[in-house]
Chain A
Amino acid sequence: MKPQSFLSQNRSALWFLLSLTVFALIVTVLSDAMGNGMISTSFVKTLGKTLCLMLVAIAMDVVWGYTGILSLGHMAFFGLGGYMIGMWLMYARTEIIVTESLRAAAIPPTPQEIHDSVGTQIFGVVGSSEFPAIWLFAHSFWLQIAMVVLVPGVLALVFGWLAFRSRVTGVYLSILTQAMTLALSLYLFQNEAGLRGNNGLSGLQNLPGLEDLPQATLSLAFFWASAVALGAGYVLFAWVVSGKMGSVIRGIRDNESRVRFLGYHVESYKLFVFTLTGIVAGIAGALYYPQAGIINPNEVAPIASIYLAVWVAIGGRGRLYGAALGAALVSLLSSWFTSGGAPDIPLGFYTLHWTDWWLVLLGVSFVAVTLLAPKGIGGLFDLLGHRHPVPERVGDFGPDKGARRTVEGEEER
């Protein structure tokens, strides 16, 4: 078999990048910032946030769809990334306000005074004024950016090491990851955690020093940053799941013991994938929350991670574009339905309000997808490309059906 180039092996990457660029350009042209006003600023924000969600969904797909680890805790890394950038945003913005107001006094402020007043302003809402230790780096943009990568990365590394080392697999691992994100959210809910408990960090949409820039421009900039991150993330993960590395992790998904018997160090592969996706989730979060404007511990509650799994499942596991599409479709539909965008359906005896019934529809359609179309939306592309349906996987795989494959989205026969 002759070696194939990266792009010919991942035709979808090319298509994905192309459509992403076209999409981003269209949005830019139609946006408020360009004076066109076809797409409102708040919708640009929604789209930018959706791109971040697509990125974390792709990461989730690599963990679950390719490596077979159903992590119900990846939104914890996403949230942590948001918290890390949020700390800098709050600190820097408050520092500017405080310096401005202290300058009015007769005597110039000492650095300690500025620091203390920033503390009073930030922690006043939780009845305190002291800076907790975890805000040590909050004054510096670059250090805090480093934390965006480091904190989720280290948490994923430590947690993954502990879990994979003791060979917790399958459902137990899912519950364990769920416990992790629950513990994190409960910890953040506490005031003692030093991140303003239940209130979370807010006002993140105001970038320090850029107060004069209109939100229309800012949101477009964040939209582009998210698009670039998504494109880069897609290429990165397409590379990870292709080639020999991809074969090994798919092998782990299909039969961990056999891969281990072949001499691969399964734990290292799993740990690598888990940590890498954790870091990417953190970066996605760091881009998401300045657009959302506020982050609080609810964002890392277990339900968020379950929804992430739902997006990936609806989009179609085991193909990156499927996960991305699933995330975009479900989250946009959700916000369309819950914000009353969908028209009510009068049934004569009862009027169906979509705001009330959307979750029921989502839940039922989710069951339907799981039962009837396990390949999700991504499966539709198989119809387009006249691909052969993949046989239902039931029971053990024989030696004839290896996990290696050279064509995306299809098992080799």
Chain B
Amino acid sequence: MAKKSVWSDNRFWQRSAAWITGFASILLIWLTFDTIPQITMGNDADLQSGVTKRVPGPTVINYKITYEMDKKRGHEIPVIGEKEKFFGRDDWSEEEAAALLHLGKLGSQAKNCMNCHTLLGNGAYYAPDLTKSWLDPAWQANGSMQAMTGKSTKEEAMAEFLQHPSQYPTHARMMPNLGITAEEAKGLVAFLKHMSSIDTNGFPRNFGKIQGAVNGK
């Protein structure tokens, strides 16, 4: 009788498949629980005591956010600096800031931003990524977008643009008017500001260095 090969033996493949499936299931369950502390939102006390969280608390909208190269990590990270006025206030309470962010989040879902844009890398590739849009120099003082809207602060310029996007020629793929109200625009800008403060391990790579990656020019 010819010697049977292990490779053509059903039991070997069955046992291997069972091992791989079992191992992968345990690994994925572990990975899920391992991710939770990484994505848990911080709070106001963390911000005040300078505790670094990957996802800072909602009151981060009271602070200036910059994007700075971290030599040790080899990419840029959002740095939360001194207090900065957001729509004329730098004393948004935790509840107020959370409510504003919630409004912005619901707004981003209702207006389906992801149908064209990417948020934290998720979404469509038609319009620019919004992860770090708050940090885009075009919205800062002397930036082209701020100048175009005629506003004097970043948040007001962004809110103005969001309410009347079709008035401002930005890109060959112009943003359509989505009927965003002033209050919704405020929430959306808060949502974007908070998103820019999330430590995304340097995503998007080389943000601010690539012409056209951010503001489509």
Query: A and B bound?
Result: no
> A residues near B, CB below 8 A?
none
